[in-house]
Chain A
């Protein structure tokens, strides 16, 4: 089984004070830490599990700057056989569509039965790349995947829906799956694997290797801003029980549970 997993190095913004930079189109990143996108760590683990079960090859691909090589090396240490970095510095205006086109260009000559991506990137929240890449590769896809069972060229796939529903799909390989967090328990790389991965070459491709014809974005980022603070706040009054009941009512009314 030949497998490709697409991973992205993203700024860790969940607990950081995020500020917009002077261009107005990006955030200030010099004090942020970066790591593999969360759902990509699950996609990578699912790819490794599949490779361990069926054998074959596992290639990790990332569109990013040279620092993305640190992230790709972690993928190598955990179990990928080879890694490709597409030089983000060679390309501008990287929306989901253009990113998918570049990923396709990087993997089009590779054999694959399954392509994995994370279901969403926590820096731009597009959720586009996996789906678009599947279309460009001409293979079926399933998003928000929480379980995969493969027999020969058939895959039984579970997708997570709202309201606790699970959708069960039967699909034929080759296919692309965008992986939901929690599908597995991502491993830590062993020290020996780390030492071996540190010596592996990462293939780097850029504008000189990728034919640019037709590769373009279909959306351009105009502005990043933080919305003005809202004026609607409600102070609840009454006894503890009354307030609790009101809070529960509001949460239910807003559909938050």
Chain B
């Protein structure tokens, strides 16, 4: 048992923290307001290797472990929640499944593009009528000679508007239910593939969240990931990994809410003294800090499970995602409370943090779904 970070994790944390504070944080309010996708940030992060944290060096990545991934995503999200999820999706929802399930040609072709940020990744699972109920998916892929013909619509897809490589889930055999689901690598410029509605989100507003529309899209057969029928399994395995990211994003967002609250509570005076002297404020700060640290430990533990090669760590990943996102929303709420009326204005970053936090309980599986996963593992 060792709670110390390794030398490379310490350095990673130090450098990403500094980068996030001086490069990402200053533009976070602007891209929240404009919704503009932060390509400048992405290019800089590509140079540092942050777009392929867990991808092996031979494919253009940095070859770090999953606790390091969590450390980096936390630091990025602390400065800018939008940028945090953009990087998380590229690493874990696009890079990871190709690295884990792709053949050598697919890895050589797509991973360096993702790592360099030449093409960003996106993950097309959710549909207008299939969110928590993944099996209700309507998108289909029919084999026709050397191609699959893809039809369907995906919704709420992070990075969609700016990505170049999409992991798309579709039924190759609907009668087999989830065992008839397959995964395809779809390139942006494929004829018949277009973008639909751009979502005007409450938080994480700079994430190019769009609909994907597939109308008789011809996907080369070699872009099938793994084998037909393995899509659901790949999807669940990939979500276990990406829940480390989302847990880490939640910890980062919560940490920024706490940092702002500590600063504000020491400066703001009422009744002749700083409000951090008041026990009700202290109570909130103490709860926030404790919950954040507990969440961070759950996230690191899920990363540790993946590091040691556990094939399924769904319970640990779900616990990390569920707890970290719940407390993140609660910590952000308390942070607004500590800021009082000022916290409800755009003069302080806390209202943005509060809006950004809410998505955590919804995406990558709602928290209700996380609880089902945990309970199923407990009772099976």
Q: Please give the residue numbers on chain A whose beta carbons come within 8 Å of chain B beta carbons, in ascending order.
A: 35, 70, 73-74, 77, 188-192, 194-195, 197-198
Contact = CB atoms under 8 A, between A and B. Distances in A.
Contacts of A73: 7, 11
Contacts of A74: 11, 14-15
Contacts of A198: 6-8, 11
30 contacts: A35-B14, A70-B10, A70-B11, A73-B7, A74-B11, A74-B14, A77-B15, A188-B15, A188-B18, A188-B48, A189-B15, A189-B48, A190-B48, A190-B49, A191-B12, A191-B50, A191-B53, A191-B62, A191-B64, A192-B57, A192-B63, A194-B8, A194-B11, A194-B12, A195-B8, A195-B62, A197-B11, A198-B6, A198-B8, A198-B11
A74 B48 CA distance: 14
A192 B57 CA distance: 8
Contacts of A188: 15, 18-19, 48
Given A74-B15, A188-B48, A195-B62, 16 more contacts: A35-B14, A188-B15, A188-B19, A190-B47, A191-B48, A191-B49, A191-B50, A191-B53, A191-B62, A191-B64, A192-B62, A192-B63, A194-B15, A195-B8, A197-B8, A198-B6
Interface of B: 6-8, 10-12, 14-15, 18-19, 47-50, 53, 57, 62-64
Contacts of B18: 188
Contacts of A191: 12, 48-50, 53, 62, 64
A195 B64 CA distance: 8
Nearest to A193: B49
A198 B48 CA distance: 16
A192 B60 CA distance: 10
Contacts of B12: 191, 194
A192 B14 CA distance: 14
Nearest to A195: B8
Nearest to A69: B7
B274 to A, nearest CB: 13
Nearest to B19: A188
The listed residue with most A CB atoms (<10 A of its CB), out of B6, B8, B50, is: B8
A70 B14 CA distance: 10
A198 B14 CA distance: 13
A165 B94 CA distance: 54
B17 to A, nearest CB: 10
Greatest chain B CB density within 10 A among A74, A189, A191, A197 is at: A191
Nearest to A17: B266
Contacts of A197: 8, 11
A73 B11 CA distance: 8
Contacts of B15: 74, 77, 188-189, 194
Nearest to B263: A15
B69 to A, nearest CB: 11
Contacts of B57: 192
Interface centre among A73, A188, A189, A190 (most CB of B within 10 A): A188
Most buried by A among B10, B12, B15, B50: B15
Contacts of A35: 14
A83 to B, nearest CB: 13
A202 B14 CA distance: 19
A175 B91 CA distance: 46
B18 to A, nearest CB: 6
A190 B51 CA distance: 11
Nearest to A197: B11
A70 B18 CA distance: 15
Contact of A189 (B6, B11, B64): B11
Nearest to B7: A198
A197 B10 CA distance: 12
A77 B64 CA distance: 15
A56 B201 CA distance: 52
A232 to B, nearest CB: 25
A35 B18 CA distance: 11
Given A74-B11, A74-B15, A192 B49 contact: yes
A189 B15 CA distance: 7
A77 B12 CA distance: 10
Contacts of B10: 70
6 closest pairs, A vs B, by CB? A191-B49, A191-B62, A198-B8, A198-B7, A194-B11, A188-B19
